[in-house]
Chain A
């Protein structure tokens, strides 16, 4: 398995533009998480899905952010319109089981977003 795949790896856009970040989770695992990482705020959970259904979106900053998971193989995080303060690294993660009943989150490489 190729792990969690995110695209693009880097995105530079201008304020006001729409940005779409993509994630292909690890196949066969039912939970997917979107995070944002900045120096100021650290790692923040934005939203997570279970069986393609959004379970907790309390971390989504505002209405400009939306996320979808139309099927088990694909998820998007969209920002419309984007603002400079959205500049961050966005991670997607799959939940996978470990021995002994624990779970772990397997992270993708991230998308570095810069909004000018």
Chain B
């Protein structure tokens, strides 16, 4: 995951927006993904974006992709305590492989 970088921690208040950022070095990925991992569970796909798109919105989630800067972000509107989890930025690697970032631990405080 060294070519997909994320900050390790983010703390927000319930009801605020959360923005999780990611930078990557390999621009050849066709798709970029955000996965969520809740405590004691496996990773689950949250959303994804095709590399020729700039933005994708899905209910409370907004994904922004800046291909020039190789920057991906995930915005969660009206963050709830149930959003507390680790969020992984992921890009397609070679073949069917995925390259995972280090993960950002989101903590939502009351």
Whether B95 pairs with A100 at a CB distance below 8 angstroms is no
Per DSSP, chain A at the interface is: strand
Whether B98 pairs with A105 at a CB distance below 8 angstroms is yes
Say yes or no for B87: interface residue by CB 8 A criterion.
no
| Contact residue among B44, B50, B102 (Cβ-Cβ distance under 8 Å from A107) | B44
Whether B45 pairs with A104 at a CB distance below 8 angstroms is yes
For B, the interface residue count at a CB cutoff of 8 angstroms equals: 19
Whether A91 pairs with B95 at a CB distance below 8 angstroms is no
CA gap between A109 and B41 in the complex, in Å: 5
Chain A, interface size: which category? Answer: 20 to 34
Whether B1 pairs with A102 at a CB distance below 8 angstroms is no
Say yes or no for A98: interface residue by CB 8 A criterion.
yes
Q: Which residues of chain B in 41-61 are interfacial with respect to chain A, using CB atoms and an 8 Å cutoff?
A: 41-45, 48, 50
When distances are taken between beta carbons in the complex, the residues of chain A under 8 Å from B31 are 102
| Contact residue among A43, A55, A98 (Cβ-Cβ distance under 8 Å from B95) | A55
Whether B42 pairs with A45 at a CB distance below 8 angstroms is no
CA gap between A100 and B33 in the complex, in Å: 14
- CB nearest neighbor in B for A96: B45
| Contact residue among B50, B100, B102, B103 (Cβ-Cβ distance under 8 Å from A102) | B50
What number of A-B contacts does a CB cutoff of 8 Å give? 48
Residues of B bordering A, CB below 8 Å: 1, 30-31, 33, 41-45, 48, 50, 88, 95-98, 100, 102-103
| Contact residue among B1, B41, B96 (Cβ-Cβ distance under 8 Å from A42) | B1
Whether A56 pairs with B95 at a CB distance below 8 angstroms is yes
Of the A-B pairs whose beta carbons lie under 8 Å apart in the complex, a sample of 28, sorted by A's number, is: A31-B96, A42-B100, A42-B102, A43-B43, A43-B88, A45-B98, A48-B97, A50-B96, A55-B95, A56-B95, A91-B42, A91-B43, A95-B96, A98-B48, A100-B50, A102-B30, A102-B48, A103-B96, A104-B45, A104-B48, A105-B43, A105-B45, A105-B98, A106-B44, A106-B45, A107-B42, A109-B42, A110-B41
CA gap between A56 and B102 in the complex, in Å: 22
